[in-house]
Each structure stands twice: as structure tokens, then as C-alpha cells.
Amino acid sequence: MIAPLLASLLLVVQNRPALDSATVTRVLNQLRTSDSAVCALAGQALTNYGGFWGHAFDGPGMPMPQPMPTPMPMPGGGGGGFHVNMHGNTHGIDPAVLRAFRAVIRDDNRCVRNIAARVLGNHGGTESYNLFIGMLKDARPDFRETGALGLGELEDSRAITPLSDALSGDASPVVRMTAAWALGEIEEKTAIPALTRALGDRAPEVRRTAAWALGEIEDKGAVRPLSAALNDDALEVRLTAVWALGEIEDESAVPLLATATKDRDPRVRQQAAWALGEIEAAQGIAPLEALMRDPVADVRKTAIWALGEIEDGGAVSALAVALKDSDPEVRVLTAWALGEIEDDRAVEPLVGALKDSDEDVRATAAWALGEIESPRAVDGLTAAQRDEVGSVRHAATWALRQIDDNDDNHDVRVRVRPRVRVKP
């Protein structure tokens, strides 16, 4: 069963944008009786969405916050690969194909129904809008969920009021959660009052999704409402609220995030550090410096990354101390941050780091000195050119050329990869 289905899916993907209604119908019919994991894969193939599509999935494909600081001081590398995109596709789609999806919009299989909602939402108009509004008012909560999902895909501002009503009044927490997600997809600040009220919903998944939606809207008017969510009993709500404040990037959130840096859970403290780095306000330095003494290395690393993002010389003294941290990854990231700040006061600590026991620390310190471009680093970098490790020698050579302002030679490249990962 699975092999023929996957073959059909490959055929659908390979033949885009000329989708065949018969193939689509065949795939959808097979999905009705397929395993939920297979249906999840099919949903991603047909709609280019992540998330879990099966019966146990806990959100309408909502991309959960996964901020991932990946400092790359030197240019290099590139992306590639095959990417299928159906969202926002401007190509005309065969009306027969749309009819094939519309035919299953009220199917009893939730995954099949929601795949259809995504496709119709991305290729709809008034007809799809009316269809989803009708479903949002259906007696069956599973149909109401699909209606909310479709309205979120449409991203039509006309849906803000009906979705807000569903968010505040629907008896099903799944419908309320999907309505909150849809409001986040529409991204209009007129939804902020409804989402603010939803932060007090009795269901944590609704509160979490409302916080996510406020982050998606990215309006500073959501900062104060999100402050209440920072005290939520549910960890996922607090994490998402902190993420949302980082997405909004308004300095008024810094005092709130400073409080979040003291949360009992290290994941929240780490997320707060990331958010302060996103906002890039100098007033975030003090709480970040406190996090540099956190017992959890990932929290310390993220705080250091954030200080590098803020790029303020006020953090140099604290970062100089972190160059002696017991964790080599912390020391690498510290050297990177000092290079980002480019403050002359960091020269002596970085020259000392050229003798670190870890080769990545030495290479990153050399790169940072090249960024600062101070003649005081010349002696230390000259000695580093005799390092036993090639990457350190190359970084030192590059740094000396930076100091000499010699950009003629491009055969030396330095790539620094501090390993930092932040996710709720």
C-alpha cells in the first residue's frame, strides 16, 4: 500500500505545476486509509509544509519557534537543493484539480481534509473564502477546525472577525488553537485584542498558539499583553512568549526579557538571551552578563551570542572573563562575539586566547583580531602563524593582512563556526 502511494506522490511532485486531477484523486483516495505518518508525508509533498499531519498532531502545521544563531563571520559556502513550493504559487492551476481537492474538503479523514484546505486556501478567492467561513460555522468541530485552517491559508483580512469570534467562543480547544494560528498567518494588528484575550484561555495549547501569533504579527502593541504569558504555568507558553518578544524586536520588551532570564527553566533563560540578541539594545547587556554565569553551558553560549549581536563595547570586560570558561565552545563563541563588537579593549584578551588549548578557540581569536584591526595584535598573530594547526595559521595570516589593509590576496579564507543552537 505504501509503495504505490509514495510512487504516486513522487509523480505529483515531479510533474508540477501541471498537476493531474486523476493523479490527485487517486492519491487522496489512498490517503483515506493510509497510516497517519504516510499522510503526514503526503501533506508535506502536496503542500510544501512541515509539521505533523496525522491524527495526533498538536497544531495546524504551525512552525514552532526555532531560532538558531549560526554566526558565520566569513563569507563562504552556499545553499542548494530541490525545493517544491506550492504556497503562494502564482501559476494557474487546473480547475479540475481544485475540484478534486474540494471534493474531499468535508472528508471524515482529518489529514485528507486539511491537505485540501491548504491547497484551496493557497489557490482560492471568494469561493474558497465562503467555503471556509461556512465550515467555521459547522456543527462538527472537526469541520470548524478545517475552516479555520483554510482561512489562515487564505490570509484574507475579512476573516479576522469570524476567526476572533471562534477564538473566544468555540467550545473546541482545537478550533480555538487553529483560529489563533490563522490570525497569526493573516498578520494584522487588528487581531491583537482577540489574541490577547486568548492568552488567558484555559487550554495551554491555545495560549501557546496565541503567543506565537502575536510574534508573527510583529507589532509593539503586543509587548505588554505578552508580559502576562511570561508567568504562565506551562513551559511551552513561556517559551513561545519569549520567542514572540524577540520577533517583535521592540526595546520596550527588554525589561520583560530581563525578568525571563531568571526563569526557573534553563530553556526559557536561553530563549530570553536569544530574544535580547534579536532586539540588539544596549540595555540588554546587564541581564546577558548575568546569564554568562549560568550553570547551563547552552544558556551561557546564547548570552554570549546575543552580546555579539548587540555589538556594544560595554560587554567587553565580561566577555574577556568568558574567554577562560571551562567549555571550549563557550570560549569560541566569546572570541566570535568580541570580533563582532570590534572594540580595541578586546585585543589583549584575544591575543592571550591565541594560546588556548583548543584549536577552534585559537582560530576564532585570530579572526576576531583581524576584525578589530589593531596593530597591537601583530606580534601575537605573527607567532600564531607558526601554530601547529593549519586553520589557526591561516586565520592569523588573514588577520595580519586585515590589519595591513591588504585585500589583494584572496587565497586565505577563514570560516568560524561557533556551535550554537537555540530552540524551545
By C-alpha distance, which of 246, 252, 306 is closest to 66? Answer: 246
pLDDT tens digit string along 24-44? 888 888 888 877 777 777 777
By C-alpha distance, which of 187, 188, 166 is closest to 178? Answer: 166
The pLDDT-based confidence of 405 (bands split at 50, 70, 90) is confident
DSSP 8-state secondary structure symbol assigned to residue 56: T
Pairwise pLDDT comparison (156 vs 423), residue with the higher score: 156
pLDDT tens digit string along 176-231? 999 999 999 999 999 999 999 999 999 999 999 999 999 999 999 999 999 999 99
The DSSP result for 239-251, as a single string, is HHHHHHHHHHT-G
- For the packed helices 390-403 and 359-372, what is the interaxial angle rounded to 10 degrees? 10
| Arithmetic mean of pLDDT, 303-314 | 96
Name the one residue in this structure whose C-alpha cell is 585585543. 347
Residue type, 423: K
| Arithmetic mean of pLDDT, 144-160 | 96
Report the pLDDT value the prediction gives residue 73, as an integer from 0 to 100. 33
| Arithmetic mean of pLDDT, 58-84 | 34
Judged by average pLDDT, the poorest of 95-99, 187-191, 208-212, 399-403 is 95-99
By C-alpha distance, which of 377, 287, 276, 280 is closest to 335? Answer: 377
Residues of the chain with pLDDT > 70, as a percent, come to 80
- For the stretch 107-113, contacts whose Cβ atoms lie closer than 8 Å and that sit 24 or more positions apart, written own/partner, are 107/32, 109/31, 109/32, 109/39, 110/55, 110/142, 110/145, 110/146, 111/31, 111/36, 111/39, 111/40, 111/42, 111/43, 111/53, 111/54, 111/55, 112/28, 112/31, 112/32, 112/39, 113/142, 113/143, 113/146
The pLDDT-based confidence of 311 (bands split at 50, 70, 90) is very high
Report the pLDDT value the prediction gives residue 418, as an integer from 0 to 100. 52
303 vs 288: CA distance, rounded Å: 5
Report the pLDDT value the prediction gives residue 3, as an integer from 0 to 100. 52
Report the pLDDT value the prediction gives residue 19, as an integer from 0 to 100. 64
Report the pLDDT value the prediction gives residue 416, as an integer from 0 to 100. 57
CA distances from 424 to 149, 226, 242, 258, 272 (A): 24, 17, 10, 18, 11
Pairwise pLDDT comparison (299 vs 42), residue with the higher score: 299
Report the pLDDT value the prediction gives residue 60, as an integer from 0 to 100. 42
pLDDT at 291 over 90: yes
Q: Count Cβ neighbours within 10 Å for each residue of 349-373 and write b for 16 or more, e otherwise.
A: bbbebbebeebbbbbbbbbbbbbbe
The DSSP result for 285-312, as a single string, is HHHHHHHTT-SSHHHHHHHHHHHHHHT-
385 vs 284: CA distance, rounded Å: 37
pLDDT tens digit string along 335-344? 999 999 999 9
Contacts of 350 (CB under 8 A, 6+ apart): 323, 335, 338, 339, 365, 368, 369, 372, 377
pTM over the 0.85 mark: no
By C-alpha distance, which of 228, 233, 262 is closest to 245? Answer: 228
Report the pLDDT value the prediction gives residue 406, as an integer from 0 to 100. 53
Contacts of 226 (CB under 8 A, 6+ apart): 199, 211, 214, 241, 244, 245, 253, 256
DSSP 8-state secondary structure symbol assigned to residue 28: H
Report the pLDDT value the prediction gives residue 413, as an integer from 0 to 100. 55
Judged by average pLDDT, the poorest of 31-35, 75-79, 188-192, 397-401 is 75-79
pLDDT at 12 over 70: no
pLDDT at 371 over 80: yes
CA dihedral 58, 61, 64, 69 (to 10 degrees): 150
Judged by average pLDDT, the poorest of 93-102, 204-213, 309-318, 366-375 is 93-102
Judged by average pLDDT, the poorest of 22-36, 44-58, 348-362 is 44-58
pLDDT at 323 over 60: yes
| Arithmetic mean of pLDDT, 402-411 | 65
- Half-sphere exposure in the Cβ direction for 3 (13 Å, CA): 0
Report the pLDDT value the prediction gives residue 62, as an integer from 0 to 100. 43
